[in-house]
Amino acid sequence: MKKKLVAGNWKMNGTLEANDALVRAVAAGVKDASCLVAVCVPAPYLAQVQMLKAGTPLELGAQDVSPHAQGAYTGEVSAAMLREFGVRYAIVGHSERRQYHGESDALVAEKAKTALASGITPIVCVGETLAEREAGRTEDVVKRQMAAVIHVNGHCISEIVVAYEPVWAIGTGKTATPEQAQQVHALLRKQLAAATEHAERVHILYGGSMNAANAATLLAQPDIDGGLIGGASLKSADFLQIVAAANAASR
C-alpha cells in the first residue's frame, strides 16, 4: 500500500508571525508521520517556510506555476524559480484559478508539463460545479479536464498527483459523501490506467472540504489516496488530526 498524501493549501492567507507558529507546530507533529505531508504556501512565504521546515519530513509546495520558463511575463513565477526554494509540489488548475483567472484545460496541462520538466510534482485539480453535477455531467467534466493533461503529459502521467475537488464542496462546508467521492476517484483511476500501466502509483487526493471530522471515512475509500486541504490546513490541530487519519490509513 502506498503512503497517503496530505497537502495543505493555504490559499491567499498567512503572515510572517502566523506562519512561524503554524509551520513549527505542523513540522513537530509530522516528525514520525507514516504518510506524506506538504504545505502549499503563497509565493512570498516560500523562503520562510523552506527554512522553518528544514530537517523535517514536511514538504514544500507552491499554489501555481507559470507555463513559461522565463521572459517578459510580469507577475509570473517559473518552475525553475520554485525549485530554488526546494519546492516539491505545485498546484495547477485549482478551481479558483479556472474560475477567477480563466485558466483552460490546455493551460493547466502545459503548467503540469512545465512543473514535471523541472522535477516538481504537479497536483492537478479537476472537478465539477454544482450546476454540472445537477445536470449529470460530473463524469464528462472530470474526464475532459483529465484528458487534456494526459494528452500533453502521457509519457510521464504516472508522475503527477491528481486532486478531485468538487467545486460545490470547496469552502462551503459541504462534502461529497465517501461513496460519491470514491465513484469519481475510481473513474479517474480507470482513465489513468488507460494511459499508463502505473496508474496505481498516482495519488488521487480528495479536495472538497476534507476536515478533521470526515477525514478518516474519506481516506478509508480504496481510491482516495489523501487530501488537498484548504481551511483546515490553517489550523495546526485540525491539520494534524487529518495527518493522523492518513497515518492510520497508510499502515
* Catalytic position from the list 94, 96, 103, 128: 94
Cα separations (Å) of 186 from 58, 127, 232?
28, 14, 25
Note whether 250 and 4 are within 8 A (CB): yes
Active-site annotation holder among 110, 128, 165, 185:
165
**What nine digits make up the cell of 19?**
506562519
| CA–CA–CA angle 77, 11, 59 (5° rounding) | 70
Catalytic status, residue 96: no
Q: Alpha-carbon distance 127 to 91, whole Å? A: 14
Active-site residue 151, yes or no? no
- Residues assigned a catalytic role: 94, 165
